[in-house]
Amino acid sequence: MVDITHKNTSKRTALAEATVVVSKQETIDAIKNRTVPKGDVLEMAKTAGLFAVKRTSDVIPDCHPLPVEYTGVDYEIEGLFVRILITVQTVYKTGVEVEAMHGASVIALTMYDMLKPIDKQVEIQNIRLVKKKGGKSDFKDKFD
């Protein structure tokens, strides 16, 4: 684990995304109309994501435990694609990229698990960091 005892605290923000692709319009409709048998997919997945962000240091060996001071989750639905956007913020000595990506991956997995009974072809695509601010180097994804 990297030594951060000497580092200064600053505000850090990370925005990550994951994309869930379903195979038919009925699946999107069921998500939007909250008629998926397992429950309200977007709300339940968001809740799972909030927990996942906070638990990142318990899951990734070298991640430092840190005070997650904000997590926000948005969804953008376009055609058969559900884009998950998650923002994490802290005021601490190290960044929250992996926290955001971990949250995004758990939201995607929860959607996959909840949609499985009604759509056998759901796929999870490119979990990635979109943007980060604070710390040594800002980062802006080339595709953004």
What are the residues binding a copy of itself (CB under 8 A)? Answer: 1-5, 11, 38-40, 43-44, 46-48, 50-52, 54-55, 57-72, 89-93, 97-98, 101-102, 105-106, 108-110, 112-114, 116-117, 120, 123-128, 139
Whether 68 and 90 have beta carbons less than 8 Å apart is answered as: yes
Length of the chain (residues): 144
32 versus 38: smaller Cβ distance to a copy of itself: 38
CB neighbours of residue 66 within 10 Å: 20
Nearest distance from residue 28's CB to a copy of itself, in Å? 19
Q: Which residues, including other chains, have CB under 8 Å from residue 142's CB and lie 6 or more apart?
A: none
Q: What letters, b where the CB count within 10 A reaches 16 and e where it falls short, cover 39-64?
A: eebbebbbebbbebbbbbbeeeeebe
The catalytically annotated residue of 40, 58, 62, 113 is 113
113 is catalytic: yes
Q: How far is the CB of 25 from a copy of itself (least distance, A)?
A: 20
Nearer to a copy of itself among residue 82 and residue 106 (C-beta): 106
> Nearest distance from residue 54's CB to a copy of itself, in Å?
5
Rounded to whole angstroms, how far apart are CA atoms 108 and 30? 16
Minimum distance, C-beta of residue 72 to a copy of itself, in the bound complex (Å): 7
Nearer to a copy of itself, 25 or 60 (CB): 60
Structure tokens that stand for 19 in this block: 């994309």
Q: Which residues are catalytic?
A: 113
